[in-house]
Structures are given as structure tokens and as C-alpha cells.
Amino acid sequence: MPRGRLIPVTDLLTRTAQDAAAAAHLLEGVVRRTPVERARWLAEPLGVDVHLKCENLQRAGSFKIRGAYTRIARLSEDQRRRGVVAASAGNHAQGVALAAALLGTPATVFMPEGASLVKERATRGYGADVLFAGTTVDSAVEAALEHAARSGAVFVHPFDHPDVVAGQGSVGLEILQQVPDVATVVVCLGGGGLLAGVAATVKHARPDVHVIGVQASGAAAYPPSLWAGHPVPLESMSTMADGIAVGRPGDLPFSIIRDHVDEVVTVDEDKISAALVRLAERNKLVCEPAGAVAVAALADGLVPVDGPVVATVSGGNIDPLLMLRVIRHGLAADGRYLAFTTAIQDRPGALAQLLAHLAGAGANVLDVVHERTRSSLAVDAVEVMVVVETRGRPHRDRILAALAGDGYVVSESPGPETPADGPGQTRENAGPAQGRRRRE
């Protein structure tokens, strides 16, 4: 599909919905009908039933197998013999690799440098050749297109193709079947394939359902594109949610989302990591950052919702090392860590006295660092930075109040792996309110 040319909207919704129904039939016995789980921890503050569509439990760890298999299965025999090529940060790569293996088609996948090791290994494990190009998905796409031109392989776009959008639309059909009275559907948004497919199937069957897209604020190409009326590429991106870090909306998805999605909002890194932690704690779901953004938007009250609500948990492919960092980041964002500095007398027993006060407040001390050389300190004083574990923000506030009551002058500190220096931090980017777009 030529870049920069939007798809005519006439009958686009109907055609996409019908194509998604055909794709759902094609996918029977290939993909899993992923479960829908209740999320009571979200339902209580929102006052409506909330369900999670668990595509993190899909084959290859995300919804991407749906679109990839649909696209490759609809190729001619000659095209499948020549092979397919794709570009992805990981989830589309795995979907293409698995789909190609199931259909007996050679596959080459281009990934950006720094892509998740877990996703790279899984892609190779499904039998695809993996090559690296550039530092973004867009760079990998360019390299994949060049490879397709040289080799004759068919390029399988991660989101900007009718077959891919149709395959992803099967998620929407399952939502309608599993939660027939659904009133709001909240979907993660990168290039737009999943949101466009879900919006087409849901709105075609139930125009009254609100469909909402969610992007990471550090990689939010859709809000400025929607305001402009056409896809606008981002100049830069920074987010831990690599699975939806796409610099330019796809032409076909944009055409559907522009006219049939009710709202697009953005969430920052703190909210994404906190949602990932809550999904693990409360629903026992392993989720990658990109897969948690819809839940993050609900947890932070960014969108008005009618119930029942279904939020997509789109993927679970997360590197264990990143998971450790994101969990610590999420705990800090949720007020479960407190780092502070205070000055104490440089004499035996002063530190033990401070630690005793913390123990009395129920704080679990994780780390203590001394500083004696700061010029502003008195000769007989030492500054200590303490990191403690708390039971949440109310407990954190009680600890600070107790220290002040005991005479300590406390300054909060970012500390290790807190929101000020956690992975993918993007405080310089537009916040959620600036990323909203509501249909009038």
C-alpha cells in the first residue's frame, strides 16, 4: 500500500468487519480463544465490571499470530515458496515466524538493535532467520522492504495491511462473544492494527460500544496525527513499551481509527509499570509493558467508562531482566519504596537510633548510604540516604510524618530505580491530558 495515501472510508468498516469474520474462521484451530478474566481490583474504584482479554496467553505470547497467519495463509503457493520477510521489535516477529512455520514458508525477520533477547530467541526458535537493522521499528521496516525487493520475498507488514487488520479483528469478535453486554473496549495502540481491527468488528456489530485506544506518552504518534487529520511521524520516541513504539500510524489503521474510535489517550511510564505490577499481583498475569497500557489507562482513571469494560492485555513477552527493572519501577511508582536523606550526628548509636525509629514505623530498610564530605554538613554530622520498603502511599506518608515528629529533617530522594531514573522515563513528553482526543 503506498505510503501517505489514506483509504476511502466508504464501506471500509463493513468490509473490514466481514473480512475479520472470514479471518476468524481461517484461524480456527490455529490460535487460542484466549480467556477473559475479571479484574475486581479495577472494578471497585471504577464502579463497573472490568474484564481482561488475555492475549498474553496467546500462542507466541501475543495477538500478533492472528494477523500474521491470516496474511501468510492468503498468499499464493508461489508466494509462500519464495518466503516472507517482516520487521518487528519482537511480537510480530514471533507471530510471523510461527505462522510461517505452520504454513511451511521460509521467514526472515528484521529487528531493531536492542530488541528483547527473549523475543529474538523465540523468533529464531520458530525457525525464522533474524537480522538487525537500525534502532527503531521504522528502520527495521525499511530494511525488510529492501530485502523483499532484492529477494522476491513477500513483506508482511506488522499493522498496515487489510489481512493483518482482519486477523487482529478476530480479537474483537471474541470479545463480543465472551462479554455480550460489553459497553467499553480499551485497546493498546502502536501502529494501529489491533485497535483498527477491534474497532471495525465491534462498531459494525455494536455501534453503541465505546472503543478507546491507549498509547505510551513517549511514543504517541496518534494524538498529533488525529489532530492533523493524517499520519504524522514522530521525530523521536522513548518508552519501555517497545511493542507499541511505532513512529508513524499505518494508513489503513489510521483511516479506521480516525472515524470509528471514540478516544485516544496516553499514559506515562510510571502508570505502565504500576499496571504491570498490579496485573502480576492481582490477576497472576505475566505481561509486557506494551500489553499493560490499556489497564494503566483504566487504573489511572484517564477515560470515562460505561460498564462492562473489556481491556486488552495484548502481550506477555518480557525479558526477565527488564521485568526485574519494571517491577521495581512499578513498586516505586505505586509508593511501595521510599528513599530519603537526612543528617544525623556522627557518633556511635545515631544510625541505630534512626533505624529504630523506622522499625517502629513499620518500614523495612533496604539500603543505607553514608555521605561525610558534603561541604554543607556540620563537622560532627553525617548525611545518610535510606531506602525503605513500604505498604503503599498512606504508609509512606505516615513514615515521613513520624520521622518529622522525631525531629529528623528529611528530604525525599529519587533513590535507585525510582520513577526519576527508571527504564524508559519520559517526563519531558506530553502528559495524558495533552494526548487525549474525544469524538464530538
- Provide the annotated active-site residues: 64, 314
d(CA 293, CA 282): 16
DSSP-derived secondary structure letter, 279: H
- Nearest-CA neighbor of 181 among 35, 39, 49, 37? 49
At a CB cut-off of 8 Å and minimum separation 6, what does 156 contact? 68, 71, 72, 84, 85, 86, 92, 96, 164
> 385: which 3 cell numbers?
540516604
Neighbours of 278 (CB within 10 A): 21
d(CA 125, CA 148): 22
The DSSP string of 17-39 is HHHHHHHHHHTTTTS----EEE-
> 329: which 3 cell numbers?
519501577
H helix or E strand, kind and range, residue 58: none
> 225: which 3 cell numbers?
496525527
> 214: which 3 cell numbers?
491507549
E-strand ranges in 335-423 read 337-345, 364-371, 381-389, 410-412
Asked whether the beta carbons of 292 and 326 are under 8 A apart, the reply is: no
d(CA 341, CA 355): 13
> 422: which 3 cell numbers?
527508571
d(CA 58, CA 34): 6
DSSP-derived secondary structure letter, 130: E
